[in-house]
Amino acid sequence: MSEEPIPAPTQDRPWEAIDDHLEASELSKAAKVLDGLPGEEQRLAMAHLSGRSQATLVESLTPENAAELLERLPEAQAADILEDMSPEAAADVVEALPEETGADFLREMRAIESEALLAELDDPDEADNLRELTSYQWDTAGGLMTHAYAAFSETSQVGDVLNELSEEAERYADMDVQYVYVTDSEGLLRGVLRLRDLVLTPRSRPVAEIMLQDPVHVSVEDDFEKLRNTFEERNYVGLPVVAPNGLLLGAVTQKAVREATAEHQTEDYLHSAGILGGEELRSMPMLARCGRRLAWLAPNIVLNIVAASVIAVYEDTLQAVIALAVFLPIVSDMSGCSGNQAVAVSIRELTLGLIRPTEFLRIVWKEGILGMINGFVLGCILGTLAAIWKDNIYLGLVIGGALFLNTILSVLLGGCVPLFLKRLKVDPALASGPILTTCTDMCGFFLVLNLASAVLSKLT
């Protein structure tokens, strides 16, 4: 490889220089351009390369540099890159990653590719550890735990622990050790040692005498809600994770739980906008993006047709008073907006634990009154405009009345549907929107056209 100086990349679009080098098979030059960029620019550049180029580039880095780079990227992108790399090269990168991060990436990969990768790991124990971690749901104690913790047998002396900690200082520095766990000869969790107690105790005392017994711990199967509550109760930095039989399996940190909370919020947002199957990035293959978006749109078209079929039933009324056609989408859209606000408040209150999924009455009460007030205000505005436009007070009453009733209905529905879905264990962020829109559209069309049919003689 020649060592001629690399020309400075176009400051503005460094990914073009990288792509040019990759096309010319000048891998090390491409890697150097990437290396010369600050962190956020590296992420920007990677997002602008094709999936193939990303994988080629990462393969040309040292495993350590590749691992550092992947940690900066969105999980979905990192997993795609690992899938596109050769299993050997991908395995080298995973070995250079912190174990939990590796497990996060593996969990997002297709089973066949992640198995191929695991088979290439040099250390079979590491592969078993990763297999174990990926076997848990990402947001449970098992999925969020790390194997990087310090544990000692209850027969150890304080001096043993201190010696081991200082000899292996570097390894433990990575682990962010705040507590040391104590197990019995079977590996069952027996207690927890605070570092400060270790330092202040004569070195010959057995750790069993100074450990905190019956320490607070979480079960490997604890779901995210339980975990979040446990960490909120008191400000724990980390907690030991045990199997149902009491075996110490790992440790889960406050930081991991905090990150999972942020991820749940992101997921809520993406789901409510109709983005399924995890994060979508524009660097992903086009057909995969089309398919994932269609997976959401296709059921929606069915729901839309069902709702609009109400209009077909009332074709005669519409034919008689064609002005109604102008108000059909206004009434249904406005009620949809009101209902969506109620959905968002319910999802937030569920997430924050401010409401129980059984409290429908509270929603009916709190949203019902609000719906009457807002429905009245909006109904008056739209009804007045309709009456003035066609100089027909009855048209105003039909439109205003329909919007009033439909607003009440949609805030009630919008408030209750997330609770109902939560009880059915369906993700409220995902399904609330389509259910709500279909119902409010249908009812909106029905109300406008039915009220109009009732006073048809006054409208024509």
Site for its own copies in 311-340 (CB under 8 A): 311-312, 315, 318-319, 322-323, 325-330, 332-334, 337-338, 340
What's the min distance (Å) between Cβ of 99 and its own copies? Answer: 16
- Which is closer to its own copies, CB of 26 or CB of 441? 441
194 binds its own copies (CB under 8 A): no
Interaction with its own copies in 258-277: which residues (CB under 8 A)?
258-259, 261-262, 265-266, 268-270, 272-275
What own/partner pairs with CB < 8 Å and gap ≥ 24 does 10-19 have? 13/48, 14/41, 14/45, 15/44, 15/45, 15/46, 15/48, 15/49, 18/45, 18/49, 18/53, 18/57, 19/49, 19/53
For residue 224, what are its two tokens? 């995210």
Residues 80-109 that bind its own copies (CB under 8 A): none
Q: Which residue, 72 or 203, has its beta carbon nearer to its own copies? A: 72
Per CB under 8 A, the list member of 104, 437, 439, 443 interacting with its own copies is: 437
Number of residues that bind its own copies (CB under 8 A): 93
Element (H, E) at 194: strand 189-194
Min dist. Cβ of residue 287 to its own copies (A): 8
Coil/strand/helix, residue 64: helix
- DSSP letters, 222-289, are --HHHHHHHHHHS--SEEEEE-TTSBEEEEEEHHHHHHHHHHHHHHHHHHHTT--SS---TTS-HHHH
Long-range CB pairs of 115-124 (<8 Å, 24+ gap) are: 116/87, 117/82, 117/87, 117/90, 117/91, 118/91, 119/87, 120/87, 120/88, 120/90, 120/91, 121/91, 121/94, 121/95, 122/91, 122/95, 123/95
Nearest approach, Cβ of 204 to its own copies (angstroms)? 23
Q: In the window 365-424, what residues touch its own copies (CB under 8 A)?
A: 366-367, 369-370, 373-374, 377-378, 381-382, 385
Min dist CB 322 to its own copies, Å, is 5
Q: Which of residues 337-356 bind its own copies (CB under 8 A)?
A: 337-338, 340-341, 343-345, 348-349, 352-356
Q: Is there binding between residue 295 and its own copies (CB under 8 A)?
A: no
* Per-residue interface string for the shown chain with its own copies, residues 33-72, x marking contact by CB under 8 A: -----xxx--xx--xx-----------------------x
Task: Give the other-Cβ count within 10 Å of 254's Cβ.
Answer: 14
Q: Which stretch binds its own copies (CB under 8 A): 82-90, 106-114, 207-215, 292-300?
A: 292-300
Between residues 131 and 366, which has the closer beta carbon with respect to its own copies? 366
Considering the complex, what minimum distance in angstroms separates the CB of residue 25 from its own copies?
Answer: 26
How far apart (Å, rounded) are the C-alpha atoms in residues 42 and 146? 28
287 binds its own copies (CB under 8 A): yes
Q: Does 148 bind its own copies (CB under 8 A)?
A: no
Q: Confirm or reject binding of residue 300 to its own copies (CB under 8 A).
A: yes
CB–CB of 459/398 below 8 Å? Answer: yes
